[in-house]
Amino acid sequence: MTIVRLARSQQVRATVSKYFLLHRAPVIYRRMKACLFIANNEPMIVEDVSLDAPATPGEVHVKWKASGVCHSDLSVWEGKLPLPPGSILGHEGAGVVVSAIDSKTGLKPGDHVIGNFVPICGECFYCKNGQPFVCEQSQVIGMSRFPFSRSDGSRFFGAMGGLATFAEEAVVHEAALVRIPSDFALNQACLIGCSVTTGVGAALNAAKVTKGSTVAVIGCGGVGQSVIQGARIAGAARIIAIDLNAARRAAASRFGATHSIDPAVEDATGAVMGLTDGRGADFAFEVVGLSALQRQAFDMTRSGGVCCWVGVPALDSEVSIPGAMMALANKSIIGTIYGSSDVRQDFVRFVNLAKKGELDLASMVSRRIKIDDINDAFTEMLKGDSIRSVVEYD
Ligand SMILES: NC(=O)c1ccc[n+]([C@@H]2O[C@H](COP(=O)([O-])OP(=O)(O)OC[C@H]3O[C@@H](n4cnc5c(N)ncnc54)[C@H](O)[C@@H]3O)[C@@H](O)[C@H]2O)c1
Ligand SMILES: [Zn+2]
Ligand SMILES: [Zn+2]
């Protein structure tokens, strides 16, 4: 998510008011199951809601087939990221177009699509300068429709890009969808909607991992395993997986890690130094979302190396870095959202890598669940061993 813009809660409120001022009475389209985010840290409610019909040019009715559950959904639910309740979470989805109104991108019924949680306006400074992943209109595009309504009349919006992939169906703007070939399993393709693009893109597009390099990855959940796969695809010689969870360290070795470190039993920075003749890693990624680990990633980066922050800590967190070492050790710290990808090309690129067997998506789907079990997926993420829980819809 584009965190800086998410922080502009006034803008969110303005968008909400504008919606109610401008929108005519909605045409109720159909009833279907959705998972409602009612309040921070309270169980989400799964119930039947109504969905408006698509009404304006560019709106698309999509039936989700599958959705991964990402840590960013959990962070919003916990209140660490400032997206308001009264919404439907889920932003890692793939599905099939049911109908589309005047689609400029040519979307039509039956097309297979992956949701893009940073809708691309194509007109702003960033879109015109090759950085659509920070499109300044994305939040407005994504959150300017409230197509879901409960029986008490209250209305809900899709929190991330408007996608609402924790609902069976949604009406979204076409700027939040990318068509993919129809011969690829949607319950794997959904992962490309966030974790895979974020992680593989962080390695290939943002940090630009080089052949023969040494890469350290702190955090081996869905996104971290994707960084590991990206580093493997880039030809890294050594990939060091660092995670508290033994099962995820073991999985990392299947995705391409050559070494693993349990930070509960050894100092991770010291262990990386030990593996690199005291230099540090050429590339170090933080993929948990804790400021202490962002600092740790910096410390384990060699002089002249690249430290890449992928994890998203609480919005008010800060991290302290020894300023002199930034210059004297010629280190770079880079941040990345959505793997610094242009999803209009990269989604299909990653589908093709998966088809060729270079990207293993199947093994990342470690739990297949139904929407009724969505709350358990958060518990599993924090306490279990899974890489990714994927909600599958009928
Ligand atoms: N930048 C982006 O565009 C973007 C996109 C998606 C997710 N994210 C963020 O990336 C982060 C990871 O997301 P995810 O879905 O992979 O989460 P996840 O919960 O699946 O994985 C997090 C991993 O970190 C490990 N971990 C926790 N504490 C640790 C510690 N102290 N030391 C080492 N490992 C530790 C956990 O065991 C787990 O394996 C989150 O902060 C998420 O919000 C960022
Ligand atoms: Zn995500
Ligand atoms: Zn834009």
pLDDT at 325: 85
CB atoms closer than 10 angstroms to residue 227: 37
Strands (E) located in 325-386: 332-335, 365-369
Same domain, 68 and 43: yes
More confident of the two residues 82 and 11 = 82
More confident of the two residues 75 and 23 = 75
Confidence category of residue 31, pLDDT binned at 50, 70, 90:
confident
Same domain, 65 and 206: no
Closest ligand 1 atom to residue 133 Cα is 3
Least confident range from 59-73, 137-151, 293-307: namely 137-151
Confidence category of residue 30, pLDDT binned at 50, 70, 90:
confident
CB of residue 224 inside a 6 A radius of ligand 1:
yes
- Tell me the pairing of strands 93-100 and 214-218: unpaired
Ligand 1 pocket check: which of 69, 71, 261 to mutate, most ligand atoms within 8 Å of Cβ? Answer: 71
- For residue 300, give the CATH number of its domain: 3.40.50.720
Same domain, 202 and 87: no
Question: 325-355 burial by CB neighbour count: b if 16+ within 10 A, else e?
Answer: eeeeeebebeebbbbbbbbeebbbbbbebbe
Say how far apart CA 280 and CA 271 lie, in whole Å. 9
Same domain, 246 and 384: no
The percentage of the chain sitting over the pLDDT mark of 90, rounded to a whole number, equals 88
User: The pTM is what?
Assistant: 0.94
pLDDT at 328: 95
Structural domain range at position 123: 3-193+360-392
Q: How many Å separate Cα 230 from the centre of its chain?
A: 15
Tell me which residue of 158, 128, 206 sits closest to 51, measured CA to CA: 158
Position 245 pLDDT exceeds 60? yes
Gyration radius from the chain CA atoms: 20
Name the 3-class secondary structure at 248.
helix
pLDDT at 5: 46
DSSP summary character for residue 339: G
The percentage of the chain sitting over the pLDDT mark of 70, rounded to a whole number, equals 93
Same domain, 222 and 370: no
Indicate the average pLDDT of the chain.
93
Say how far apart CA 40 and CA 63 lie, in whole Å. 27
Determine, yes or no, domain membership for 161.
Answer: yes
Same domain, 330 and 386: no
Give the mean model confidence (pLDDT) for residues 306-330: 94
* DSSP-assigned beta bridge partners for residue 167: 34
Give the mean model confidence (pLDDT) for residues 72-83: 93
Number of domains in the chain: 2
Which residue is closest in CA terms to ligand 1's atom 8? 311
pLDDT at 177: 98
- Alpha carbon of 223 to ligand 1 centroid (Å): 7
Query: What phi and psi values does residue 27 have, to the nearest 5 degrees?
Result: -90, 120
- Alpha carbon of 354 to ligand 1 centroid (Å): 22
- Tell me the pairing of strands 169-173 and 177-180: unpaired
Determine, yes or no, domain membership for 351.
Answer: no
Position 7 pLDDT exceeds 50? no
Closest ligand 1 atom to residue 335 Cα is 1
Give the mean model confidence (pLDDT) for residues 20-38: 71
CB of residue 194 inside a 6 A radius of ligand 1:
yes
Confidence category of residue 145, pLDDT binned at 50, 70, 90:
confident
Same domain, 247 and 379: no
Determine, yes or no, domain membership for 344.
Answer: no
Same domain, 264 and 186: no
Say how far apart CA 302 and CA 280 lie, in whole Å. 4
Determine, yes or no, domain membership for 248.
Answer: yes
Confidence category of residue 13, pLDDT binned at 50, 70, 90:
very low
Determine, yes or no, domain membership for 62.
Answer: yes
Same domain, 72 and 203: no
Confidence category of residue 24, pLDDT binned at 50, 70, 90:
very low
pLDDT at 369: 97
- Asked whether 294 and 313 are in contact (CB, 8 A), the reply is yes
Determine, yes or no, domain membership for 350.
Answer: no
CB of residue 269 inside a 6 A radius of ligand 1:
no
Confidence category of residue 26, pLDDT binned at 50, 70, 90:
low
Same domain, 174 and 298: no
Distances (CA, A) of 13 to 4, 138, 146, 153: 15, 15, 13, 19
Position 370 pLDDT exceeds 80? yes
Same domain, 366 and 319: no
- Alpha carbon of 131 to ligand 3 centroid (Å): 8
pLDDT at 27: 63
CB of residue 256 inside a 6 A radius of ligand 1:
no
CB of residue 386 inside a 6 A radius of ligand 1:
no
Same domain, 109 and 229: no
Tell me which residue of 372, 343, 356 sits closest to 192, measured CA to CA: 343
